[in-house]
Amino acid sequence: MIQAKSYAAQAPGATLAPWQFERREVGPHDVQIEIHYCGVCHSDLHQVNNDWFPGIFPMVPGHEIVGKVIKVGDHVKNFKTGELAGVGCMVDSCQVCENCKADLEQYCLEGSNQTYNSKGRDGQPTYGGYSNTIVVREEFVLHISDKLSLAATAPLLCAGITTYSPLRHWKVGKGHKLAILGLGGLGHMGVKFGVAFGADVTVLSTSASKEKDALALGAQHFVVTKDPAQLAAVKGSFDFILDTVSAEHDMNLYLSLLKTDGTHICVGVPSEAYAVHPFSLLGGRKSLAGSGIGGIKETQEMLDFCAENNITSDIELINMKDIQTAYDRMVKGDVRYRFVIDMATL
């Protein structure tokens, strides 16, 4: 077995602290990565806090992983030691169901195996990227360009693909009015992709202080959602709303901002269910939709798109020991715009 170092929560809501554990040996189809950076996703905090479902503890969060390949199994074809590599939210899936065959492993009919707070296909708990090393089967490892800042690339593995995938699926681009709801880790990547795809982008935010940043990220418009006058001015005006909000919010209010035939796409996952009135949808033939991360093929496509177009995340690099402060700031919506852990500080 491989001895690994990490920061883990030993119980729901616990403060993260150093923890040593074992990872499996590198099998014939596995790649071992020395982790250099790991992004901090709001999903990490949701799961440490059991916001969605009872988690598996000890829990090592982290699913925005980048680093260097240090060992490959005998049958590995696409990775060599010394290369940069990344791992996102999934580490395995059945590979044979309809969805896996369609490159939609995230919707695997048997359930994809998540990078942490999940079990691998061997039945063993999975542990994530707040760690010095990880072993993953080749099919779930991504190629990372050396053209971009490695630390700022890490968040592409979750925040990047989670916003890229729905914008591609709904073919959002020129001629569309796109609203990004919530300017955090996912939201700021949604702005970058929306702008890159040619959409007219509005940021809908509870934080008036983020206006300057939103415009610097490329958004054309900024609306403070706490100001009724600003909200009234954009009523019925968007083709799409990409909803990245991590806490409860009034879905009926935001649906009223869509045009006829507009689509509200949920990617944010608050702990409570939404209350949606049918009138909010039928008046204007509106759609309420959702999207989960993206398949491996599309994640590689997104990473290649980012390398070609010089797109990375705007990050604050932190020491491992400061993770709790980062979580506290994330809860307050004070992320500018993704925390990334420097694993050299583990």
Binding residues (CB under 6 A) for ligand NAP: these are: 41-43, 46, 158-159, 162, 182-187, 205-207, 210, 244-247, 249, 267-269, 292-293, 330, 333, 335
CA-CA distance, 178 to 237, in Å (whole number)? 9
Candidates 144, 16, 34; CA nearest to 81 is 34
Least Å from the CB of residue 111 to Zn ion: 17
Q: Contact between 156 and Zn ion (CB under 5 A)?
A: no
Which of ligand NAP, Zn ion, none interacts with 46 (beta carbon under 5 to 8 A by kind)?
Answer: ligand NAP
40 has which bridge partners? Answer: 339
Only one of the segments 42-50, 96-104, 110-118, 308-316 lies at the binding site for Zn ion (rule: CB under 5 A); that segment is: 42-50
Of 274, 270, 267, the residue nearest 291 (C-alpha): 267
158 binds Zn ion (CB under 5 A): yes
DSSP codes joined into one string, 184-223: SHHHHHHHHHHHHTT-EEEEEES-GGGHHHHHHTT-SEEE
- 330 sits near Zn ion (criterion: CB under 5 A): no
Least separation in angstroms between CB 187 and Zn ion: 13
Kindly state whether residue 43 participates in binding Zn ion, applying the rule CB under 5 A. Answer: yes
Cβ contacts of 80 within 8 Å, gap of 6 or more: 69, 72
Q: Does 131 bind Zn ion (CB under 5 A)?
A: no
CB of 41 to ligand NAP, least distance (A): 5
The span of 15-23, 40-48, 75-83, 319-327 binding Zn ion (CB under 5 A) equals: 40-48
Distance CA 208, CA 222 (A): 9
Q: Residue 134 or 203: which CB sits closer to ligand NAP?
A: 203
120 touches, from Zn ion, ligand NAP, none (C-beta below 5 to 8 Å by class): none
- Please confirm whether the linkage preceding 58 is cis (ω < 30° from 0): yes
Q: 10 Å Cβ neighbour count for 278? A: 7
The binding site for Zn ion (CB under 5 A) comprises 41, 43, 158
